[in-house]
């Protein structure tokens, strides 16, 4: 039989309530709650309100897959609160969004895409167009603010933005540098072959072609005058590598390239810009459609074999691998700087969301509404913390996740 003192101790313990816990324990409990539950807890007492607003939302925001990225927040038109960014992250995870399509064209054409905080940049045939991003439900102005080039110019096959400048490659083997601030452009013929991909970093420029070679060009640090159509020899060829790639990306001292086809499953290669030597990476893939640098040492690749791979150049091999649940190739990639990777897939205008902290699992898939009988790949993808931009062969689609009222389209468990 329990003694009288034991009975008093049991009754004292059983009478304790949640609010009697210390703030560290409460914070740990609250971290497991959804935003809707936290909103209700905030109304309970000032203690809960202080802990949730001061500690819980900031910590959940730091851990958030999409909404916690400073890079994504910098690209957004809105200055979202931490609570709102956590709510946006839930919408990304559970598939709550509003969808709109723009620039519909019946003839199949693959555009290229770039975004910054105020502008959407998109190519169409020989033109580069700038459309202002808006805070209304349309999300983007359909009328262009400025246009570089004309439709009859050679088609733009690749587009890269760095700061306030653009580098483009064309079907006729030309590259174009464009500065919207001065409205000046510079064109230079690099090859007679079709340019597949371009990239630049400070004064180093990389160009790869469909069948020919990969060119490394330099712009002299002394040639810092504004771009001019009449500038001769602004970019000088420093190295030609006798390999053609489907996609390339530069960092400060290396160029990663992915081949369109390699029967030996050695499609991913690294070129050291100082020694001009090729390094074969041990990432077994027959074809690489897109690559990007996560940091100075890590690469993400989107592959024909339905995988996205994380490669560390220090070990030379795969560190993680994600496979598409529906066996579709990965056509394009977008990395938000922290944990989220958005992938444009081969079929049905679909995009996948992956968490680099969780290998071998797709966090969410986004299927567009069935308004068109087309089954296009996603050729180009971009995202901030609340919107995702998808280029298909017949239009541009924008998914807005700042839409708490939207129906949930959760394909994560499929």
As a whole number of angstroms, the distance between CA 309 and CA 290 comes to 11
Residue 346 has pLDDT above 50, yes or no: yes
What is the CATH superfamily name and number for domain 100-400? YVTN repeat-like/Quinoprotein amine dehydrogenase (2.130.10.10)
**SS3 (DSSP) at 369:** coil
Q: What is the mean pLDDT of residues 347-360?
A: 92
The span from the CA of 403 to the CA of 381, in Å, is 20
Neighbours of 256 (CB within 10 A): 26
Q: Which tens digit of pLDDT belongs to each residue from 228-271? A: 544 556 888 888 999 999 999 999 889 999 999 988 999 999 99
pLDDT at 11 over 70: no
pTM above 0.85, yes or no: yes
> Mean of the pLDDT values across residues 337-360?
93
Alpha carbon distances (Å) from 33 to 40, 56, 251, 403: 10, 10, 40, 20
**DSSP assignments along 254-309, one per residue:** EEEEE-S--TTSB-EEEEETTTTEEEE-B--BS-EEEEEESSSSEEEEEETTSEEE
DSSP for 79-104, written as a single string = ---HHHHHHHHHHHHHTB-EEEEES-
Q: Say which range, 34-48, 202-216, 226-240, 395-409, has the weakest mean pLDDT.
A: 226-240
* Residues whose CB is less than 8 angstroms from the CB of residue 309 and which lie 6 or more positions away in sequence, other chains included: 283, 285, 300, 301, 303, 318, 320, 321, 322
Average pLDDT, stretch 333-357? 93
Q: What percentage of the chain carries pLDDT values higher than 90?
A: 66
Give pLDDT tens digits for 27-85: 899 999 999 999 999 998 889 889 999 999 999 999 999 988 889 999 999 999 999 99
Give the pLDDT confidence score for residue 371 in this predicted structure. 59
Q: Can you give the pLDDT at residue 20? A: 74
pLDDT category of residue 9 using cuts at 50, 70 and 90: very low
Task: Out of 213-227, 271-285, 377-391, give the one with best mean pLDDT.
Answer: 377-391
pLDDT band with cut points at 50, 70 and 90 for residue 374 = low
Residue 13 has pLDDT above 80, yes or no: no
Closest-CA residue to 267 (of 295, 305, 239, 297) = 305
Judge whether residue 14 has pLDDT over 70.
Answer: no
CA separation for the pair 330, 346 (Å, rounded): 6
Q: What three-state secondary structure class fits 372? A: coil
Asked if residue 365 lies in contact with residue 404, where contact means CB atoms within 8 angstroms, the answer is: no
Tally of CB atoms within 10 A around 48: 20
Helices and strands per DSSP (H, E), number in the chain: 7, 28
Q: Could you tell me the sign of the dihedral formed by the alpha carbons of 397, 402, 408, 413, in that order?
A: positive
User: Is residue 329 a contact partner of residue 346, using CB atoms and an 8 Å limit?
Assistant: yes
Q: How many CB atoms lie within 10 A of CB 193?
A: 16
121 phi-psi bin (left φ>0, alpha ψ -120 to 50, beta other): beta
Indicate the domain borders of the chain. Answer: 20-88, 100-400
């Amino acid at each position: 039989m329990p003694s009288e003192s034991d009975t008093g101790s049991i009754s004292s313990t059983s009478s304790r309530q949640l609010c009697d816990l210390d703030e560290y324990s409460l914070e740990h409990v609250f971290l497991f709650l959804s935003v809707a539950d936290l909103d209700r807890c905030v109304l309970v007492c000032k203690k809960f309100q202080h802990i949730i607003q001061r500690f819980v939302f900031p910590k959940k925001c730091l851990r958030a897959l999409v909404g916690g990225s400073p890079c994504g927040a910098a690209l957004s038109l809105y200055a979202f609160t931490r609570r709102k960014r956590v709510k946006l992250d839930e919408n990304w995870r559970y598939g709550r969004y509003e969808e709109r399509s723009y620039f519909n064209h019946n003839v199949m054409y693959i555009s290229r895409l770039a975004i910054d905080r105020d502008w959407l940049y998109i190519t169409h045939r020989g033109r580069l167009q700038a459309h202002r991003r808006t805070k209304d439900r349309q999300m983007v102005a359909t009328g262009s603010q400025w246009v570089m080039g004309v439709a009859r110019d050679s088609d733009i096959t690749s587009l890269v933005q760095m700061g306030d400048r653009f580098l483009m490659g064309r079907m006729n083997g030309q590259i174009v540098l464009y500065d919207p601030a001065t409205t000046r452009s510079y064109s230079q013929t690099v090859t007679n072959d079709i340019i597949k991909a371009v990239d630049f970093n400070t004064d180093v420029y990389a160009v790869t072609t469909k069948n020919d070679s990969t060119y490394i060009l330099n712009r002299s640090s002394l040639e810092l005058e504004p771009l001019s159509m009449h500038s001769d020899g602004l970019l000088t060829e420093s190295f030609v590598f006798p390999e053609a790639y489907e996609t390339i990306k530069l960092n400060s001292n290396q160029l990663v390239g992915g081949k369109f086809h390699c029967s030996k499953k050695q499609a991913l290669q690294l070129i050291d810009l100082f020694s001009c030597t090729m390094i074969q990476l041990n990432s077994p893939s027959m074809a690489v459609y897109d690559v990007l640098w996560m940091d100075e040492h890590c690469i993400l690749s989107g592959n024909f074999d339905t995988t996205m791979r994380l490669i560390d150049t220090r070990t030379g091999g795969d560190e993680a691998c994600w496979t598409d649940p529906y066996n579709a190739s990965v056509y394009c990639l977008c990395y938000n700087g922290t944990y989220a990777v958005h992938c444009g897939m081969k079929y049905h205008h679909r995009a996948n969301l992956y968490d680099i902290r969780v290998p071998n699992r797709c966090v969410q898939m986004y299927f567009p509404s069935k308004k068109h009988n087309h089954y296009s790949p996603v050729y180009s993808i971009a995202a901030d913390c609340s919107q995702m931009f998808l280029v298909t062969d017949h239009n541009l689609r924008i998914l807005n996740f700042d839409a708490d009222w939207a129906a949930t389209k959760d394909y994560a468990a499929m």
